Amino acid sequence: MSSPHAAPLPDIAGLERAALEALLESHGIEPYRVRQLFRWVFARGVTDFALMTDLSKSLRASLPALVRVSRPLVAGSERSSDGTTKLLVELDDGRRIESVYIPDSPGDTFCISTQVGCAMKCAFCLTGKMGLARNLTAGEIVGQVRALASAFGLTASRFNIVLMGMGEPLHNYEETMKALRILGDTEGFAVPPRRVTISTVGLVPALDRLAREAYMPNLAVSLHATTEAQRDMLVPANRKYRIEEIIDACRRFPVRRRDRITFEYVMLAGVNDSREDARRLVRLLDGLQVKVNLIPLNEAASIPFSRPSDERVNEFARILADRRLTVSVRKSRGRDIRAACGQLIVEGTQKSAAQRLAELLT
């Protein structure tokens, strides 16, 4: 019997194919078996080795002693009136994160978290109020996709992935990119980079690193301001990476001829929604292949800002469009279940599973 304190077995759900091949080859198992395992776990959603019928009986019997397949635990769900569904996913250490399914956006889209909480502390975002508990592993990031695909019958379907849930993806760079490579593996979910979008506040060294990746997702930069003073107040990370540095990094970023970098701009009444803000934004983005995504604030009781009027949002958008910028106004999905942009927050995640069990027994 193994020790209760023994390290857990390697998790197929968090291993790239080459790493799993090396691991199994060290036990005398042929590399082609890994392709079969990836198809079962990701493309078919099967986690029980005994059900993987194209593996030999002896291999099915030996695998449980060598590797495991984690099973994402969905602790709860809420469905919005617009069809958006938010899942509460519990991790092995008892912490919880939120993931969102957005149908018809267009197509099916999964909004995925990369951290428990967030260290960026953006002034208009509920997730930032949690602080950062820890980074997610690649297996936990991929696990959200597995949970969503299984819950909505999309394991064998095409879907989009946006890393716009809890956390700053580039603050957890290694595990985030590892997860994307696993999700992109042709023997698994086979999600191409064009169907994946990373949203970031603009961590410049990580942006430059992302620009050199073989698996290069779409890029969305959360700008939210047109002056350094504004952004210092709204996005504390701006005190380290200034607007000019972020724009310069975007100019260096390789963009294919028909593609664009998206700039996200949360609009706050009386703060960053003036005509002059719109004109400054035009000047900042001059010469870049961009799309501007305007996001009227999703209000919350603990957020000290208000949503601008539709008239103000439309006027801001017209100024951008008149200067030939591609602009859209995001239709907030899932606001009634607190699943919209900036609304994801899980409270009380600091307790371990053991602590919560002890409370139930006392």
pLDDT tens-place string over residues 125-159: 888 888 999 999 999 999 999 999 999 999 989 99
Looking at 21, 98, 140, 175, which residue is catalytic? 98
What pTM did the predictor assign?
0.89
Q: What is the DSSP letter of 239?
A: G
pLDDT at residue 346 in the model: 60
Sequence spans of domains, the chain:
12-65, 73-337
Q: Determine the Cα–Cα distance for residues 75 and 132; give it in Å rounded to an integer.
A: 21
* Range with the poorest average pLDDT among 23-37, 227-241, 296-310: 296-310
- 168 given a catalytic annotation: no
**With bands split at pLDDT 50, 70 and 90, how would you rate the model's confidence at 333?**
low
Tell me which of 217 and 8 has the higher pLDDT.
Answer: 217
205 CB neighbour count, 10 Å cutoff: 11
Q: Determine the Cα–Cα distance for residues 326 and 260; give it in Å rounded to an integer.
A: 9
Q: In this model, does residue 16 exceed pLDDT 80?
A: yes
User: What class does CATH assign to 12-65?
Assistant: mainly alpha
Q: In this model, does residue 358 exceed pLDDT 50?
A: no
pLDDT tens-place string over residues 243-296: 999 999 999 999 886 689 999 999 999 999 999 999 999 999 999 999 999 999
Residues 6+ apart with CB under 8 A from 282: 319, 320, 323, 325
Classify domain 73-337 by CATH architecture.
Alpha-Beta Barrel (3.20)
Q: In this model, does residue 196 exceed pLDDT 60?
A: yes
pLDDT at residue 136 in the model: 97
Q: Determine the Cα–Cα distance for residues 325 and 163; give it in Å rounded to an integer.
A: 24
| Cβ atoms of residues 97 and 40 within 8 Å | no
- 122 given a catalytic annotation: no
Q: Determine the Cα–Cα distance for residues 42 and 137; give it in Å rounded to an integer.
A: 17
Looking at 118, 125, 250, 341, which residue is catalytic? 341
Which pair of structure tokens corresponds to residue 142? 């991929």
